[in-house]
Structure 1
Amino acid sequence: MSERTRNREDAVVRKAQIIDQALQIVGELGYYGFTIQGLAERCGISNAGLLYYFGSKDKLLLALLDEIERRGEDRVEHLVAAATQDAQSSEQTYAATVVLLQEMVAQFLADVTQTRFVAALQLESMNEAHPAHAWFRDREAETIDLFTQLASPWTDEPLSAARQLNALMNGLGQQWLRAGETFDLVEEWGRALRVVLPGPGAR
């Protein structure tokens, strides 16, 4: 292995370590509660060494959000395709839609540190001055557009249903965190989903 290749691999490992530690710290303290120095100390590097990878605290935050988005898209990309194929029957389309929406919530359980990170930032970023304000605004719009498309076959008011689904997904996730993860989040989400999108023959 060449020295250049080794250095490149070391950089990838170090960057992944920074991301993992930052997810945990921001999930605990919020964006305004963590410092570059505190994160650097936890990673065992200098402030300058950390900033070498991300440039600034704001850029680090946006890099974390982009990484979370990438991970989520990798997990559900094929499910989105299955739920939005026009050639499927109503029963198949509805079943694929339910599987997709269930998987989106199941991801909350798969990485609780990441879930806490996102929940903390969602509340903080209501402030327009927050560096992640535009990121969350744009992603919410994209999510509602997808949910509107998914809801269209099952309701006369798909945009309203999409907003309800988005609110229920985030709200139940926050309740689950506050309750110490003591109730079945996926089961509760399934119940809510059947109310908002009861499926074929319900219209």
Structure 2
Amino acid sequence: MRPSKREMIVDQALRVIGEQGVGALTYEMIAEQAALTKAGIVYHFPTKDELLAAVVDKVTREWDEEASGYLTDSFEESSSAERVTAYLQTLLSGKRTSSELVLAAETMAGESRHPAWEHLRSRWVSDEATTVWEQVAILAAVGLWFSDATEYLTLSESTRAEVRAAVRHLPRMS
């Protein structure tokens, strides 16, 4: 099935964000890359803020769906530890992209903070129920994502797999 124009616009916007940052996101750039007119983009997203919100919503929805797939029971029936483990699996899956990292960095904090990120985090990682070792594991997983996206450390596939296994083990340290 062919993606809708709205989906194509959101996908192209995420690509532009990954390559040049949120500040470089323009209707003209997306129109060129998506082979659409600027008017066609404005029809779907009258403001840049609406477009950016749609990109964040898409990414956080995909993360949420992926984390749900790691649960053996329904979300409601899963314990806090099971939810954290599923979220951790999502961070460690290797599916997180450099474009998502740039988007997260530019829309998770400050004036640009998008509420979908907080909703995602609070849904999967309860501040009250999360242990210190679960928090360390999440921070380590985010660090690995950063390293993979920026090539901060050049890890072989076998080393990366060992690091992921070690990070998955961290929540059991308590």
Q: TM-score, normalised by structure 1?
A: 0.66
Match of 1:55 in 2: 46
Give ranges in structure 1 of 5+ residues lacking alignment. Answer: 1-8, 88-93, 152-157
- The 1-side partners of 2:46 and 2:55 are apart by 13
The number of residue pairs the alignment matches comes to: 170
Q: Aligned pair 1:191/2:166, yes or no?
A: yes
Deviation at 1:45, TM superposition (A): 1.8
Deviation at 1:175, TM superposition (A): 1.0
Deviations 1:146-197 (A, max 9, x none): x865x6xxxxxx2x23432321221110011121784244431221232342
Distance 1:141 1:24 in 2: 27
TM-score (norm. length: structure 2): 0.75
Quote the Cα distance in structure 1 between the aligned partners of 2:162 and 2:78: 28
- Please state if 1:141 is matched with 2:122: yes
Asked if 1 retains the 8 angstrom alpha-carbon contact of 2:21 and 2:103, the reply is yes
Match of 1:64 among 55, 61, 76: 55
Helix, strand or coil for the counterpart of 2:4? helix
- The answer as to 2:150 corresponding to 1:178 is yes
Matched, 1:105 2:91: yes
Matched residue type, 2:115: A
Compare CA radii of gyration and give the structure with the larger one.
Answer: 1
Q: Is the 8 A contact 1:83 1:97 kept in 2?
A: no
* d(CA) in 1 for partners of 2:142, 2:88: 13
Counting only pairs closer than 5 Å after superposition, residues 83-98 of structure 1 correspond to structure 2 as none
Unaligned runs of 5+ in 2: none
1:4 corresponds to:
none
Counterparts of 2:92 and 2:46, CA distance in 1: 33
Tell me which moved more, 22-31 or 118-127. Answer: 118-127
Q: Among 103, 112, 135, which residue is 1:163 paired with?
A: 135
After TM superposition, give the deviation of residue 39 of structure 1 in Å: 0.9
Aligned residue identity for 2:136? Q
Q: Whose RCO is larger (CA < 8 A, sep 6+)?
A: 2
Please provide the CA RMSD for this pair: 3.4
What is residue 101 of structure 2 aligned with on the other side? 119
Cα distance in 2 for residues equivalent to 1:116 and 1:191: 22
Q: Are the aligned partners of 2:67 and 2:89 in contact in 1 as well (CA < 8 Å)?
A: yes
**More moved, 47-56 vs 134-143:** 134-143
Quote the sequence identity (%): 19
1:15 aligned residue (6, 27, 31)? 6
Look up the SS of the partner of 2:24 in the other structure. coil
| Matched AA of 1:105 | L
1:175 partner amino acid:
S
Q: Note the 1:32-47 alignment, pairs <5 A.
A: 32-47=23-38
- CA spacing shift, 1:71–1:125, aligned 2, 3 Å: closer
Partner amino acid, structure 1, of 2:27: I
